[in-house]
Structure 1
Amino acid sequence: MLSKKTKYAIKALVALGKNIEKPPMQISKIAEEEHIPKKFLEQILLDLRNAGFLYSKKGAGGGYSLNKKPEEILLVQVMRVTDGPIAMVPCASLNFYHKCDECVDEKTCGIRSAFIDVRDATLKVLSETSIADVIGREDTLKLGIDTL
C-alpha cells in the first residue's frame, strides 16, 4: 500500500508541476489546496528538496518550486526518497536487500520468487511514470468528467 508520506509527496510535486511557470508556492498554499497537514508537508518538502527535486526560496516571494522538469521526476524516485524500498519483502529488494530471518533457503523460496515478480512489475510502471504523466492523467480524467 502507498504510504501517506509518498501520496502527499506526489500530490505536492503535481501541484508544483502545474505551477511551474509561476512564482514559488508557499507551504500553506500547497497544504490547503492538496489537503495535506502543514507540519507533515514541511517534512516531506524538506526530504524532496534534499533529494534535489525542489528548490526553496526564503523571504518575500519565497516558497517551493520544482528543481527539475515534471517529466524528469519519476514515481520510483519519489517512493525511494519517501519510503525507501519498493519491494514488499526485504529479500526481494534491489536497493534495500536483506535476508528474511526465518528463511531457510532463499533460492527455493516461492514467496520470494512471487514477490520478485511483483517488484519487477511495480518497478516497471513506477520507472515509466513521471510527475508530468500524473498531471496528464488528471487533465485527461477531468476532460472525461466534463464531457459527461
Structure 2
Amino acid sequence: MLSNRSRYALRAMVHLAALPGGGPATIAEIAEAASAPRKFLEAILLDLRRRRLLVSRRGRTGGYALAAPADAITFADVIRALEGPLALAPCASRTAPGPCETCPDERTCPLRPVLTEGRDALAAVFETRTLLQAAANSSPIDPVGN
C-alpha cells in the first residue's frame, strides 16, 4: 500500500508539474494544492530535494520547483525516493536486490516468481507515467486514486 507520505509527495509533484516551468511554488501553495498538512509536507519536500527531484530557492520569488522537466520524472522516481524499491520483498527488487530474512533458499522459493511478477506489473505502470502526464489529466481528484 502506498503511504500517505508518497501520496502527498505525488500530489505536490503533480501540482508543480502543472505550473509553468515546473514551479516555483511556496510550501503554503503546494500544501493547499496537495491537501497536505504543511509541516508534514515540509519534511517530504526536503527529502525530495535531497534526492534531487526538487530544487528550492529562497526569497520573495522562491519556493520549490521540479529539478528536471516534468516529462522526465516518473511516479516510480518519486515513490523510490521516499519508499525505496517498488518490490514487496528484497528478492523481487531490481534496484536493491537481496535475500529475504526468513527465506531458507531464494532460488527455490515459491513466492519469489509471484512477487517478481507483481513488481514488474507495478513498474510497468509507475516507470512509464510521468508527472507531466498526470498534470495533463489532473483534476481536483487525487492523482493516485485516493
Q: TM-score range by the shorter chain?
A: 0.7 to 0.9
Greater than 4 Å deviation, 4+ residue runs: none
Higher mean displacement: 7-16 or 94-103: 94-103
TM-score when scaled to structure 2?
Answer: 0.87
- 1:69 corresponding residue in structure 2: 69
Q: Secondary structure at the match of 2:138?
A: helix
Write the distance in 2 (CA, Å) between the matches of 1:18 and 1:53.
Answer: 15
- 1:145 corresponding residue in structure 2: none
Provide the aligned C-alpha RMSD in A: 1.8
Q: How far has the Cα of 1:21 moved from its partner?
A: 4.4
Q: How far has the Cα of 1:120 moved from its partner?
A: 1.0
Q: How far has the Cα of 1:78 moved from its partner?
A: 0.8
Write the distance in 2 (CA, Å) between the matches of 1:16 and 1:73.
Answer: 12
Write the distance in 2 (CA, Å) between the matches of 1:136 and 1:34.
Answer: 16
Write the distance in 1 (CA, Å) between the matches of 2:78 and 2:94.
Answer: 16
In the alignment of these two chains, the number of paired residues is 140
Q: Does 1:20 align with 2:39?
A: no
| Higher Rg | 1
Q: Secondary structure at the match of 1:128?
A: coil
Structure 2 residues not aligned, in runs of 5+: 142-146
Richer in helix (by share) = 1
Q: Map 1:120-131; keep pairs closer than 5 Å.
A: 120-131=120-131
Structure 1 residues not aligned, in runs of 5+: 142-148
TM-score when scaled to structure 1?
Answer: 0.86
